[in-house]
Structures are given as C-alpha cells and as structure tokens.
Amino acid sequence: MANHDILAIGTSAGGLDALRTLAGGLPDDLAASVLVVLHLPPHFQSSLDAILSQSGPLPATFARDGERCEKRHIYIAPPASHLLIEDRHLRLGYGPRENNARPAIDPLFRSAGLCCGGRSIGVVMTGTLGDGAAGLQALKQCGGVTVVQDPDDATFPEMPATALRQSKPDHVVGLAAMPALLETLVRQPAGAPAEVPELVREEVAIARDGNVRMSHMDRIGRRSVLACPDCHGVLWEIDEGGLVRYRCHVGHAYTAELLSAALDEGLRGAIASAARVLDERIALARRLMEEDRRNGHNGLAESWARKLRDAEKEADVLRAAIRRVDEIAAQALQE
C-alpha cells in the first residue's frame, strides 16, 4: 500500500534556519521525496543544497528538469524557476511569477495535489505575506495532508498565520516537533483518491509553461476593475470560499494582501515620478528666473519666481504623500 511519499515544503523569511532544523530532524530512511521552495531572488548563487546536506542525513540538491523524483532525497527549487512534480518526475516551470516570486510555493503545492493527491503532504513554514495558503488549500482538496508551523513558533508568523486562517490545515505544530510529525505522516497509508478541481489543473499548466488565454481566465474567475501591477493587464478575481486571489491574462498571480502591497508600491512609484518631474520644473524655473534677472527682465523674472514658488509647494505636498505611504507600509508590516 502506498504511503505519503511526497513531502512538499514552502517557506520564505526565516526559512533557512527552519529548513536546517527540519533537515537535521528527518531520518535517513525517510520513505518520501522532500521538495522545498524557499523564496530566492533571480540570479542568486545559493549554497542551500550544501547547507541542508550538512544539516542532516538526507542529500539535498537543486532540482533539474525531467529528473526522476527519488525517496530519501531533498530537492530544492532553483532560483527563477517554479518547482513542479509530474508523474514521479520533477519539472521546472518558467511561467509568470506568483505572489511576486518565482519560485513560488503555491505552484509546488498545486502540482503535488494534481500529481500525487492522497500521497502528498504540504507544509507551510515561517515567512511573510501569504504565498502558500492557496496552494495548501488546493493540495487538501486533492486529498493531501496539510501542515502549518505554529505562527507563535515562527520567526516570521505572517505566512503560516495566513495559511492557518485560509486553508484550515490538518496539523499545526512547532518547529521542534515537526520532524517527528512528518515522519509519522510519511509512514501512514496514502489517502483515498479525490477529484482534482479544474482550477488546479489550469494553474499548474500556467506555472509550467506560461500559456494563458483570456478564455481560460474566464473559466476560473471573473474580470475585475483592477489592473495587474506587473503588466497592467486586466485582473481576474478568483474566489475560493473566502480566499480571494487575482490573476491576469499574462499569468501573474496575487493574493489580495499581496496585491494591496503591490498597489501601494505602484502608488509610491507614481508619486515619486511626479515629484521628480516637479524637481526638474523647479530647477528649470530657477535657472530661467536667474537668467532674466541678469538680463534685466524683471517682469519675466518675477513670473518665473511665482512659478518656482508654486512648484516648490506642490513638491512639498508630494514628498509628504510619499512619507505617508511609507509610514502606512511600515505599519502594515508590524501588524
């Protein structure tokens, strides 16, 4: 009888230390493949494979496209690629970023649910914002077991807290007890097969190859009045029973919270661009005012002086708005 032999783990901020602890507590005869997504920036030269290999008995390597997925091994999503599993083989997806990340956690969880259903276990650990919550819910819908690190135990509690609130996981546990729990779950018989929602199939395909059509998006969501912060295209709203997400026809995806943060960042950028234009206007007005004064054109100089004063007042308003946007963003991170 098959056991839970696919262990998918997602983490972000604080994840390096959490993964080291987890790798150190897993047994050398673990009857499962361990798939890990840690948010890594593009072109980042990571030594996470060596770190995890040294932390515990299981070898850890960065996943290669088409590689067969073996038990007693840790596979890590490489920078700039989504990590997916398909028919016992690993796939690297080059679809659009999700939650402003590639690799993202949600695509791994969805692919594990689609591929392996009741054989899969999904784990969300320490991190900020909400990547992983939607994927964990999808994995559970496909028959998998879901685990979330206790937010009170996490270095950065927001990501596990979001997953706890949105996906109602099967187990909530502190980091110290997690290796023993996962070892127990791996040894248990796989769950019964479950019907895979069409939304999960569509989104795994998007993460794999990036092929998105408006007709696809119309099937899985409804068009909103919002624009994508990445490409400025139309966003479709996807409502999964209280978990609201957004995806554009290019494929960029956001949770509602991450979309709000991205829009705040876009607002700051727009205000900063306007402030820059005003600074250039101020510099030009000052130069023309001084030139007219030197040439004895006092009337023209006074006209430029008025324009200069007006532009300086407008610039002060915009700088105050930038400070306020930054204050609101900082307060949101502290809540």
| pLDDT 10s digits, 295-327 | 999 989 999 999 999 989 988 888 888 787 777
Q: What is the tens place of the pLDDT at every residue in 155-214?
A: 999 999 999 998 899 999 999 999 999 999 999 999 988 999 988 999 999 999 887 878
pLDDT, greater one: 37 or 209: 37
Three-state secondary structure readout of 268-285: HHHHHHHHHHHHHHHHHH
Residues annotated as catalytic (active site), given as ranges = 12, 39, 131
Report the length, in residues, of the chain: 335
**Which pair of tokens denotes residue 105?**
């956690």
The average pLDDT across 98-115 equals 95
Cβ neighbours for 164, distance < 8 A, ≥ 6 positions apart:
148, 151, 172
Residue written as token pair 């949101």: 332
Q: Which of 150-159, 273-282, 284-293 has the lowest mean pLDDT?
A: 273-282
Q: What is the mean pLDDT of residues 254-280?
A: 80
Pairing label, strands 33-38, 6-11: parallel
Would you place residue 141 in the very low, low, confident or very high pLDDT band (cuts 50, 70, 90)? very high
pLDDT for the residue 260: 76
User: What is the enclosing helix (H) or strand (E) of 137?
Assistant: helix 133-141
Is this structure's pTM higher than 0.95?
Answer: no
Buried b (16+ CB within 10 A) or exposed e, 257-276: bbbebbebeeebeebeebbe
What is the pLDDT averaged over residues 252-278? 80
| Confidence class for position 25, pLDDT limits 50, 70, 90 | very high
User: Of 71-85, 188-202, 260-274, which range is least confident?
Assistant: 260-274
Mean per-residue pLDDT, 49-71: 97
- Please tell me the predicted confidence (pLDDT) of residue 273: 84
The whole-angstrom separation of Cα 245 and Cα 95 is: 17
pLDDT at 218 over 90: no
- Residue 91's beta-bridge partner residues? 84
**pLDDT attached to residue 243:** 81
